[in-house]
Structure 1
Amino acid sequence: MMKKNLLLTGIALALQILIAFGQHLETNNPLDIPLGDPYILYDKVSDAYYLYGTGGTENGFVAYASTDLKTWEKQGVVYSSAQSKNWGTKDFWAPEVYAYNGKYYLFYSAHWKENPNHELENYRIGVAVADKPTGPFEDLTGKPLFDPGYPIIDANVYFAEDGKCYLYYSRCCYKHPVQSEISKWAKDKGLYQEIEESWVYGVELKADFSGVAGQPKLLLRPPVAMNDQQAEWESRSVTSGEVNRRWTEGSYLFKHDGRYYMMYSANHFAGENYAVGYATGKHPLGPFVKSSFNPILEKNTNKGGVVSGTGHNSILLTKDGKRLCVYHGRTTETGDQRLVFIDPLEINKDGRLQVKGPTVGPVKIR
């Protein structure tokens, strides 16, 4: 009798394991979460996922938590500028949270209150720390991480195998006109007198996140020549007459098979042409070469779909090792509201990145 019970118990356990492995982890696009610039942290301590992004509260950030990437619960405000060490006044954007040395660090962009020249875009990057993914996060120093002398946004941090940390950010287009064949074309067409650009830089971080070590290095910028393979898709905001700016922003770095991948967004974040490309290099600070397959994520409304404005992505490595592309987008049904999307990211044998999206409805992610 005992042997029979043990046998039945073993069979039941085996069936449970088979069912578990046979189940597909799913999410549903778009998530019913009105955030831009989304970033998801998998926290090993709590065995849960935490989603952060632009929006949800005034002058701060909120978080959502999930155990399955489909059902999300709002955790409330995790960072607020109403604190003694606050240095930002408005436009709190693009938060990313990292678990590091037993603490959680939030990197974000905001408008710096030290603004003697009354600049319209006086953005810098700050760092706040907490004991939990849900905060409360408190600013480290009461001032921006560093001041390069121009407005910057969209912080991303890479933790290298040798213990070094690298910060990536985007110099704003603001007061940064650049001469190129694109700007000459726009001027000749009577569209714009000048074209402003944003560029992606990288710099090593100090170990305690109190500042940067060394000088920032230019890593990515929009193409100068019109016959450049990247020029068409990275210039759509200009060529469509939308705005006199070309962006290279929302960068995200990861490593695979000895190669560094830097994903980035181009075009106006509030427009339909916002899209994602990538570049590769052999070192965290480049040089980087843009992929000939760009863009790898863009609107599908011109192909019968309902999604546009796809961009400012990050990559989530799930607890079972699956890479997912997390980004914001819009649908014809939801209008201008930015919502969060999650789609699988695949890396082909030749190293090519492919985002399996944008999609609407159930998405199998395992």
Structure 2
Amino acid sequence: MKYLLLAGLLGAGLVAGAQSKKTSGNPIFEGWYADPEGAIINKQYWVFPTYSDRYEKQVFMDAFSSPDLITWQKHPRIIDTAAVKWANKAMWAPAIVEKDNMYYLFFAANDIQNNNETGGIGVAIADQPQGPYKDLLGKPLLDKFQNGAQPIDQFVFRDKDGQYYMIYGGWRHCNIVKLKADFTGFIPFDDGSTFKEITPKGYVEGPIMFIRDGKYYFMWSEGGWGGPNYRVAYALSNSPFGPFERIGTILQQDSTVATGAGHHSVIEVPGKDEWYIVYHRRPLGETDANHRVTCIDHMHFDKNGLIQPVKITFEGVKKHTLK
């Protein structure tokens, strides 16, 4: 992607001066954004975050794409409550899946507090990653508490056999469910259950899962999202169903850089054992809980496959173009 004029840069929603930058910088783009889902789509880096504001103003989602982690293009309002009739606030924590040349955006809405309220986890569909997305079902995919888990913070995971699972949950409980191939519902497990709880010690919200060297890495956020003790921990297992025993904290605040670092995702460079962690944090001195910004740093493993603590930086990461 090449833009020769500054006007072209700005018109495309790109950061002015980004072409001369040597690192991404943190935050990687302007604005209050949280809960970022990082992905690689069509040889571009993508980030799908929550718009960070009061619940009543969280009625849309933006996305951002980059060819090199340095220059980011904003794709505004890829979905909003006008396209999701049952949603009216608190659109949170998007998760993106590309399948059969279509794009599925999973999201939470309305921050329901009990099974009598309307809301939960929904799924939308589009023919390009920047949308516009339309509601796939016309109703939530999941609108009830199961095993104590609030239906928020969904992450969609593709296992080695091609089966998709949704891992989700707030209120200190995490479930895994088996998704139908068309993402319109769930498939019961062999024992007849639909919702399996996989909650590790310390879990609060924000789960993700990935596979490296045959091992299942399960990561989550701990502490309070509005406070300084927000952080990310992880566990390892031979199965996506656990058991997951907490190993340790790998992302947390640095009093010289930022506070409240958490609710993350990871990006693996295809064909290489190179990893990035995309997360939100709060600038130093900021007292507004909603002032969260999206950042990226490197994530490394030791010789035993354990995740090393992440150093959060102002610099971010160097330019990396996908081949």
Name the TM-score, length of structure 1 as normaliser: 0.72
1:41 CA displacement: 2.0
Q: CA RMSD in A?
A: 2.4
**Which residue of the partner structure matches residue 256 of structure 1?**
212
The answer for the alignment partner of 1:284 in structure 2 is 240
Find the residue that maps to 2:251 and give its secondary structure: coil
Whether the aligned pair in 2 keeps the contact of 1:88 and 1:112 (CA below 8 Å) is: no
Is the contact between residue 25 and residue 314 of structure 2 (CA under 8 Å) also seen in structure 1? yes
The amino acid of 1:157's aligned partner reads V
**Does the 8 A contact of 1:314 with 1:326 survive in 2?**
yes
Q: What are structure 2's unaligned runs of at least 5 residues?
A: 1-20, 189-193
SS at match of 1:209: coil
Matches within 5 A, 1:202-241: 202-214=176-188, 215-222=194-201, 234=202
Which whole-Å CA distance do the structure 1 matches of 2:277 and 2:180 have between them? Answer: 28
Aligned-partner Cα distance in 1 for 2:271–2:115:
50
Between 137-146 and 147-156, report the one with greater CA deviation: 147-156
Task: State whether residues 299 and 308 of structure 1, in contact with CA within 8 Å, keep that contact through their aligned partners in structure 2.
Answer: yes
- 1:27 and 2:24 are equivalent in the alignment: yes
How far has the Cα of 1:30 moved from its partner?
Answer: 2.2
TM alignment of 1:1-366, pairs within 5 A: 26-33=23-30, 34-44=32-42, 47-55=43-51, 58-83=58-83, 86-111=85-110, 117=116, 123-149=119-145, 151-170=150-169, 172-173=170-171, 198-214=172-188, 215-222=194-201, 234=202, 248-291=204-247, 294-301=248-255, 305-319=256-270, 321=272, 322-332=274-284, 335-336=287-288, 337-364=291-318
2:124 touches 2:136 (CA, 8 Å); kept in 1? yes
- Decide whether the 8 Å contact of 1:88 with 1:113 is kept in 2: no
C-alpha contact 1:87 1:112 (8 A) present in aligned 2: no
The structure having more radius of gyration, on CA atoms, is: 1
Aligned residue pair count: 284
State the Cα deviation string for residues 3-43 of structure 1 (Å, max 9, x = none): xxxxxxxxxxxxxxxxxxxxx97321222332100112211
The 1:357–1:123 alpha-carbon spacing in structure 2 relative to 1, beyond 3 Å, is farther
State the SS of the aligned residue for 2:252. Answer: coil
| Mapped partners of 1:282, 1:297: distance in 2 | 23
Q: Secondary structure at the match of 2:249?
A: coil
More helix by share: 1
CA contact (8 A) 1:221 1:248 kept: no
Percent identical: 35
Instruction: State the Cα distance separating 1:79 from its structure 2 match.
Output: 0.5
C-alpha distance 116-28 of structure 1, shift in aligned 2 (>3 A): closer
Instruction: Return structure 1 stretches of 4+ with deviation > 6 angstroms.
Output: 112-116
Give the Å deviation of 1:345: 1.0
Note the C-alpha offset of 1:108: 0.6
Distance 1:340 1:102 in 2: 28
1:206-264 Cα offsets, whole Å, 9 max, x none, are 11101111211111144xxxxxxxxxxx4xxxxxxxxxxxx521011000111100010
Superposition TM-score, scaled by structure 2 size: 0.81
Tell me how far apart the structure 2 counterparts of residues 324 and 250 of structure 1 sit (CA, whole Å).
Answer: 17
Residues 113 and 273 from structure 1, CA distance in 2 versus in 1: closer, same or farther, beyond 3 angstroms? closer
